[in-house]
Amino acid sequence: MSHGNGTARRELCIAIIGAGPGGLCMGIRLKAAGFERFEILEKAGGVGGTWYHNRYPGCACDVPSHLYSFSFEIKRDWSRPYAPQPEILAYLQHCAAKYGLLPHCRFGDAVRRAHWDEAAARWRLELASGRTVTADILVSAIGMFNEIALPDLPGLDSFAGTLLHSARWNRERDLAGETVGVIGSAASAVQLVPEIAKRASRVHLFQRTANWVAPKEDEPYTEEQLERFRSDPAFARAVRQTIFDSFGGPALFDKVRPDVEAACRASLAVVKDPGLRARLVPDHPWGCKRPLFSNDYYPAFNRPNLELVTDPIERVTPTGVVTRDGRERRLETLILATGFATTRFLSAIDVTGRGGLAIADAWSDGAQAYKGVATAGFPNLFMLYGPNTNSDSILSMIEYQADHVLRQIQRIEREALAWIDVRPAAMAAWNAELQRQIATIEMWQAGCTGYYRAPSGRVVTQWPGSMPAMQRALSSLDEEAYEAVGLPR
């Protein structure tokens, strides 16, 4: 097959980093469009991404489950309104198998570095196995929850007991009868602490900052409800649409904040000890940090075997944790519920673009992209769940991004382009407007958003609009925003 301009059509070779929801969605879209030459490079032993790695007790989604499946593969029989991790992982495994992605997946082979070869106009990827992969197009689907965050604590590496990170859980590990320390009090801690407190003889929760924890309507579905979801697809779709319509991006957050804070305070009232209750009240507005949901977290503090420690940690010893008051709590297991380096995105990998530009240097002021999917100086590189795309249901957001990336890839093929690269001016204009909108969102200006902000202070994770606004932004091809270079003739 040849193009009208006389060049032979090449079959594009595409590399996708990550087999989580983003990589799977991209693969499904590529196959449907007739692209078969792609590899999904995954450091883990299977598909699922964050849902593969996070297997701690109590792990669940904080987006209603009826919205947490792809629109082209709706799952109707979730066991409860907020799906637990094993169900989500099983769903993603189902998608990979049903859509024929497993032959394209390369498991247990992390990408160590990615280098743009200007002469060949291709990406060269060096893998942990020593293998090298070359590709015309590189799609990063590593998202926000890729590189685990470790607390900077003196002596951490000296701890002689069992050290676990919530995102690298050991399922074989039974904490029954043990004395356990947990560092962190955000998303993963809120889910795992109530569960491990049922097994361990003693749990010490080291809290640096109190967080708002809102209740959620999460009664498991009855058999009758499940039967209706299964037998009536239109009903299940209507439930999904109602949930979708109830999200309104951060503007809605600002509006509902007083109601949510009141609900959090009402939940907190179950904690019987008034002094303990006071230490669980945050000093920042709800929405300033990542919203947290649990019906079990506050009640767990009525257990005699759970201690809240608010004295700052001074150091970790081989036998436990010493706080600033000089007291050592001796521990058999120490759990780091410290989450991810959420602001790193693709800079978690050594990536170099045009002129040898390292992505870490390009992003020295914080990660940025054009519409979240392309970053200047890195041709034929597209990102899913990239900078400033975090909002509401990420599965919906990923679909809009994957569709947009597919159209860019189709353009490269259709017009016989060697490469396209977003223009710095287009990216700068997009980001200036984005940051202007972010600055109007009151709750993100309250000074507690390390989760959202790069060290420079820029909010690099959040999308300030709604899901439909993202879909509209990504609906055009934006040829004028890209520099395009044709294949040599």
Residue 10 has pLDDT above 90, yes or no: no
Residue 287 has pLDDT above 70, yes or no: yes
Residue 1 has pLDDT above 70, yes or no: no
Closest CA to 58 of 259, 216, 230, 178: 216
pLDDT band at 9 (very low <50, low <70, confident <90, very high): low
pLDDT score at 442: 76
Coil, helix or strand for 359? Answer: helix
Query: C-alpha dihedral over 183, 189, 190, 196, to 10 degrees?
Result: -100
From CA 4, how far away is CA 21, in angstroms rounded? Answer: 37
In the DSSP assignment, the letter for residue 343 is: T
Residue 2 has pLDDT above 60, yes or no: no
Residues 6+ apart with CB under 8 A from 82: 60, 61, 62, 63, 64, 65, 216, 218, 293
Residue 136 has pLDDT above 60, yes or no: yes
Q: For the range 446-449, what are the long-range contacts, defined as Cβ-Cβ under 8 Å and sequence gap of 24 or more?
A: 446/284, 446/285, 446/288, 447/284, 447/288, 448/209, 448/284, 448/288, 448/289, 449/288, 449/289
pLDDT score at 143: 80
pLDDT score at 217: 94
Residue 347 tokens, joined: 């800079």
Burial 72-106 (b: 16+ CB within 10 A, else e): eeebbebebbbbbbebbbebbbebbeebebeebbb
Relative to beta strand 179-183, strand 162-165 is unpaired
Contact, 253 vs 443, CB < 8 A?
yes
Average pLDDT (135-161) is 91
Residue listed under structure tokens 């929801």: 21
pLDDT score at 35: 97
Average pLDDT (440-460) is 75
Q: What percent of the chain has a predicted confidence (pLDDT) above 70?
A: 96
pLDDT score at 345: 77
pLDDT score at 67: 96
In the DSSP assignment, the letter for residue 130 is: S
Task: Tally Cβ neighbours within 10 Å of residue 170.
Answer: 12
pLDDT score at 146: 74
pLDDT score at 448: 63
Residue 276 has pLDDT above 70, yes or no: yes
Average pLDDT (281-303) is 90
* Segment among 8-12, 372-376, 426-430 with least mean pLDDT: 8-12
pLDDT score at 449: 56
* CATH code matching the domain that covers 156-232+242-336, chosen among 3.40.50.970, 1.10.10.10, 3.20.20.70, 3.50.50.60: 3.50.50.60
The CATH number of domain 14-47+101-147+342-486 is 3.50.50.60: yes
Average pLDDT (8-12) is 75
Coil, helix or strand for 71? Answer: coil
* Segment among 10-19, 110-119, 255-264 with least mean pLDDT: 255-264
From CA 202, how far away is CA 65, in angstroms rounded? Answer: 33
From CA 269, how far away is CA 273, in angstroms rounded? Answer: 9
Polymer length in residues for the chain: 489
Contact, 48 vs 92, CB < 8 A?
yes
From CA 205, how far away is CA 213, in angstroms rounded? Answer: 16
Residue 400 has pLDDT above 70, yes or no: yes
Residue listed under structure tokens 């957050």: 253
Residue 314 has pLDDT above 90, yes or no: yes
Going edge to edge, which strands form the sheet with 122-127?
132-135, 122-127, 111-117, 350-352
Q: How far is CA 450 from the centre of its chain?
A: 15
From CA 207, how far away is CA 86, in angstroms rounded? Answer: 28
Q: What is the mean pLDDT of the chain?
A: 92
Tens digit of pLDDT for each residue in 24-39?
999 999 999 999 999 9
pLDDT score at 4: 42
pTM of the model: 0.94
Q: What percent of the chain has a predicted confidence (pLDDT) above 90?
A: 79
In the DSSP assignment, the letter for residue 378 is: -
Closest CA to 41 of 19, 20, 22, 13: 19
Contact, 162 vs 320, CB < 8 A?
no
Average pLDDT (276-284) is 94
From CA 406, how far away is CA 388, in angstroms rounded? Answer: 20
Residue 184 has pLDDT above 50, yes or no: yes
Residue 207 has pLDDT above 50, yes or no: yes
Residue 305 has pLDDT above 90, yes or no: yes
Tens digit of pLDDT for each residue in 139-149?
999 987 777 88
Average pLDDT (426-442) is 92
Task: Tally Cβ neighbours within 10 Å of residue 41.
Answer: 26
pLDDT score at 7: 47
Tens digit of pLDDT for each residue in 40-92?
999 999 999 999 999 999 999 999 999 999 999 999 999 999 999 999 999 99
pLDDT score at 451: 64
pLDDT band at 348 (very low <50, low <70, confident <90, very high): confident
Relative to beta strand 320-323, strand 328-330 is antiparallel
Give start-end residues of each CATH 3.50.50.60 domain in the chain. 14-47+101-147+342-486, 156-232+242-336
